[in-house]
Amino acid sequence: MKMRACRYFPGVRWWPLRQNIAVVGTWEDLWHNVIARTVPAVKDVAAIFKSEYDDVAYSLRGTAGELSRAEREGGSIVDGAAGSRAGAGVSGPQLRVMSTAPNHDLNSFLAKYAYHDDEGWTGGDSTYVRRLPGDRHVIMFSDTFLGRLAADGSRVPETPFVSNSFVVVDRDGQARTLLSRTLDDQARAVLPPQADRFHWLGGSHVTGRDTLDVMYLRFTGDSRVLDTGGDFDAARLRTALIPGGAGELEMHGNLLARFDARDLSLLDVTPMPSETGVHWASWVEHDAVGDHTYVYGVHDEGAEKFMHIARVPGDDLRQPWEFSDGQGGWSAREADSAPVMSGVANEYSVARLSDRHFLLVTQDTAVPYSPDIVGYLSESPAGPFRSPALLHRATESGPAGFYRDPETVVYNAHEQPDLRRGNELTITYNLNSSVQNVLDVSSKYRPNAVRVRVRVEVT
C-alpha cells in the first residue's frame, strides 16, 4: 500500500483506503449499509471513509447521476439555479461545470486532525482558508468545539467551546490550534468575548504589509445566557442545551482585527462601518488589477438576504470606504449602500476567475438550507453577477442525506481561492444540526470540501 501526498499541504501524507475493499451494489446501498451495520465507534470514521474512498459516492442524491450522464454523452453538467435569479436567462458568458468530486485531501485533513490529542479544534463553521508567508496556511473558523473526541466520535456536553479559532498548517504539514489565553492560561477565542458580546469571523486577506486582516461581527445572543465563570462562550453552549428561551442574535457592529501574518499575533482591532445593519464580513478580496480591496456583506432579512459591496483603494481596510449604490456608482456614505442582488448566503466568495471574469460562489438561499451551491459570473468585482450555474449539490442534509437526519443542514458555501489549481476550485460548506446531535456525532459539525472543475463558454 502506497502513501499519497496531500496536494495542498505538502508535508501531509495519507494512507489511501482503496485497497482490499469489495464494493457490491450501488454506492447509496454501500454507504447506508456502512452506517447501519457498524458499531457506533465506526460511524464517525465512516463519514471520513465516504469522503476518502471514491470519486463518485459523494452523491447519495446529488449531481453524480448528472455527471455520469454528461460524461456518457460527451458533455458537461449545466444546471440553472432554482428560483427567480438576478441575471437568469441572459446570453453571454456561461459557466460550465466539467466535474465535481470530494476534496479528499482537505476533508481527510480536517477529519483526522479532529482526533488529535492536543485539546485543540474538533469542529467548527465559517471555514476561511488563507495562504500565509512561508508557504503556510491558516484555516479560520467561527463557533468551534475544542478538546478530545471519544472513540465513537462523540463529544461530552462539557466540551470546550469558543466563538472563533485558527488552525495553522505549517509548511511541513504540522497543524496546531491557535487561540487567545487569559492571564491564568485559560483558552479563549482568538478574538475573545467582551462582557456579553461574542465575535464571529468572516472574510480576510493578507496585505502587502504582511498582516492578516480579518473582518469580525460582534453579537449578543440568547437572553438566557448568564456567565458567572468568566467564560461567555462556554455559557452560550451550556444554555443552548436547555430547551426553550430566546435564541435570537443581535449584531452590535463590524470590526477589523489585524494580525501579524508571520506569527498571527493580534496587532489591533478597529471598528468598521456599522450604521446600516449590513454584516460586512461575507468576503474580502483584493483585486491587484484595479488595486482595490472589496468588502462583501449581507443584509440579512431572514427569508431574504441581499448582497452589499464596499471597497477601499489599495489593501488597507482602515482607509475610508466607498459603498456601491447598486447601479455602478460609489458613495462615501454607508447609508447609500444598496443591494446588488438577492439570494446570497451570509457567507459567500467573489474572486477573479480569469482576466475577464469574476466568480461568485454562494449557497442558493431561494430555498432555506438548500443543498445547492451555485456560481455566477461578472466582468467586475462589483457585479452585476449573471448566468447562475449549479456547481454542486451537497448530500449530507435532510432525511434523504448521508446521515438520514432531518435536523442536519448545510450552509454558507464559498470557494477557497488560495487553494485553487488552474480551473479546479475548492469549495467548502458547513454542516450543522441540533446541539445534542453535534455532540453525539462530531462529523455533523465539521466542514466538507469539494473539487469543481469549471470553464467559461461564450454563447
All three cell numbers of 400, joined, read: 434523504
Q: What is the pLDDT of residue 65?
A: 43
What pTM was computed for the model? Answer: 0.83
> Cα–chain-centroid distance for residue 67?
24
Are 129 and 139 in contact by the 8 Å Cβ rule? The answer is: yes
Alpha-carbon distance of 136 to 260, in angstroms, equals 13
Residues of the chain with pLDDT under 50: 1-4, 8-9, 11-25, 27, 30-31, 34-35, 37-43, 51-89, 245-246
CA 36 to chain centre: 29
pLDDT tens column, 49-107: 554 443 433 333 334 344 444 444 444 333 333 333 334 445 789 999 999 888 888 98
pLDDT tens-digit profile of 40-53? 444 455 555 554 44
Please report the pLDDT score of residue 244 as a whole number. 56
pLDDT of residue 247: 56
**Rounded Cα–Cα distance for residues 66 and 390 (Å):** 11
What the block records as the C-alpha cell of 261 is 501574518
In this predicted structure, what is the pLDDT of residue 353? 96
pLDDT of residue 230: 75
d(CA 204, CA 390): 26
- Per-residue pLDDT at 207: 98
pLDDT at 59: 36
The predicted structure's pLDDT at residue 224:
62
